């Protein structure tokens, strides 16, 4: 194959690294867990749906040596502490955390109850705070770490079909990424965010009309693939990604340029 002089290849090797991925029982989180595992990391596959986490972890390695399932509800601080302790016991330390779990409810703004508001914020924003709080101390003590927070275009410009609590919570997750990045700068630990537009994993939750409308809206004419999300996470989580500090990486097909 002919290659031009400017062409280069990037391949990630996470050999020796340990990774915790939240919301990894399906969708983008599952794809992220698969990419890390295929790139030689040991992966803790966590989800509030324990059976889904088990299914994915076993598909990666049913011996449990390089992949373990964890039941982890991101609304609970103790769940993050348990995960940290379980991974430390199994593999010594956690090097990389991907806060991917999220949940969107498309409730019209005037119908959002205070309870629903709090729950959406707990899943999409407070989770990032709790995870960063628990793992930043752990990673600082180890002198190395990468935290990647999956946020959303909704947190930057309101998104395409998002509602108020989800958009507000994702905006908060972007700010928390910067806050912790600043606190940890120079310690060997980086914190960054990825801000995706529509991802193919959402298609099943949208009507045909909504899918068509979104495809028309996105300048490149399609949804992102989960594999494109995983590749972006890998970049921020890699050793080579150490100069990304408090960045928000836009992955939106041109929907929002800044």
Ligand X SMILES: NC(=O)c1ccc[n+]([C@@H]2O[C@H](COP(=O)([O-])OP(=O)(O)OC[C@H]3O[C@@H](n4cnc5c(N)ncnc54)[C@H](O)[C@@H]3O)[C@@H](O)[C@H]2O)c1
The catalytic site residues sit at: 166
Name the residue with tokens 């040596």.
65
Cα 254 to the center of its chain, rounded Å? 20
Q: Does residue number 35 form part of the binding site for ligand X (CB under 6 A)?
A: no
> In this complex, which beta carbon is closest to ligand X, that of residue 25 or of residue 172?
25
Q: Does residue number 52 form part of the binding site for ligand X (CB under 6 A)?
A: yes
Taking CB under 6 A as the binding criterion, the range among 7-15, 69-77, 106-114, 231-239 that sits at the site for ligand X is 69-77
**From the CB of 173, what's the least distance to ligand X, in Å?**
9
- Classify burial at 249, counting beta carbons within 10 Å of its beta carbon; exposed 0-12, middle 13-18, buried 19 or more: middle
Do 87 and 95 meet the contact criterion of CB atoms below 8 Å apart? no
Q: Does residue number 70 form part of the binding site for ligand X (CB under 6 A)?
A: no
Q: Does residue number 253 form part of the binding site for ligand X (CB under 6 A)?
A: no
Q: Does residue number 48 form part of the binding site for ligand X (CB under 6 A)?
A: yes
**From the CB of 16, what's the least distance to ligand X, in Å?**
27
Contacting residue, 55, 61, 77, 103, with ligand X by CB under 6 A:
103
Q: Does residue number 23 form part of the binding site for ligand X (CB under 6 A)?
A: yes
> In this complex, which beta carbon is closest to ligand X, that of residue 21 or of residue 181?
21
Cα maximum dimension of the chain:
60
Cβ neighbour number for residue 65 with a 10 Å cutoff: 10
Contacting residue, 49, 61, 81, 228, with ligand X by CB under 6 A:
49
Alpha helices (H) in the chain, listed in sequence order = 27-38, 50-60, 77-91, 114-121, 127-142, 154-157, 164-184, 208-217, 226-237
Task: Enter the tokens of residue 247.
Answer: 């960045």
Q: Does residue number 181 form part of the binding site for ligand X (CB under 6 A)?
A: no
Closest CA to 225 of 205, 196, 204, 250: 196
Contacting residue, 29, 145, 168, 246, with ligand X by CB under 6 A:
29
**From the CB of 1, what's the least distance to ligand X, in Å?**
34
**From the CB of 58, what's the least distance to ligand X, in Å?**
15
Closest CA to 217 of 165, 181, 253, 171: 253
SS3 227: helix
Contacting residue, 18, 39, 94, 100, with ligand X by CB under 6 A:
100
For ligand X, the binding residues (CB under 6 A) are: 22-23, 25-29, 47-49, 52, 72-75, 100-104, 123, 150, 152, 196, 198-199, 201-202
């Amino acid at each position: 194959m002919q290659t031009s002089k400017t062409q280069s290849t990037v391949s990630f090797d996470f050999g020796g690294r340990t990774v915790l991925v939240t919301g990894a029982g399906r969708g983008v989180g599952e794809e992220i867990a698969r990419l890390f595992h295929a790139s030689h990391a040991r992966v803790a596959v966590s989800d509030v749906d324990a059976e889904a986490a088990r299914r994915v972890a076993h598909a990666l390695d049913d011996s449990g040596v390089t992949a373990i399932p964890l039941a982890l509800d991101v609304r609970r601080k103790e769940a993050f502490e348990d995960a940290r302790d379980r991974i430390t016991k199994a593999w010594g330390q956690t090097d990389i955390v991907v806060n991917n779990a999220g949940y969107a409810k498309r409730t019209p703004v005037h119908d959002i109850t205070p309870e629903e508001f709090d729950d959406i914020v707990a899943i999409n924003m407070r989770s990032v705070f709790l995870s960063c709080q628990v793992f930043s101390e752990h990673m600082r003590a180890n002198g190395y770490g990468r935290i990647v927070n999956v946020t959303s275009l909704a947190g930057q410009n309101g998104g395409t079909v998002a509602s108020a609590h989800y958009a507000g919570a994702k905006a908060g997750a972007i700010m928390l990424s910067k806050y912790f990045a600043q606190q940890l700068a120079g310690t060997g630990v980086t914190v960054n965010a990825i801000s995706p537009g529509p991802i193919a994993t959402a298609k099943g939750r949208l009507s045909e009309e909504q899918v068509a409308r979104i495809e028309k809206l996105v300048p490149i004419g399609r949804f992102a693939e989960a594999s494109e999300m995983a590749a972006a996470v890998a970049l921020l989580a890699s050793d080579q990604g150490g100069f990304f500090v408090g960045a928000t990486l836009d992955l939106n097909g041109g929907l929002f340029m800044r």
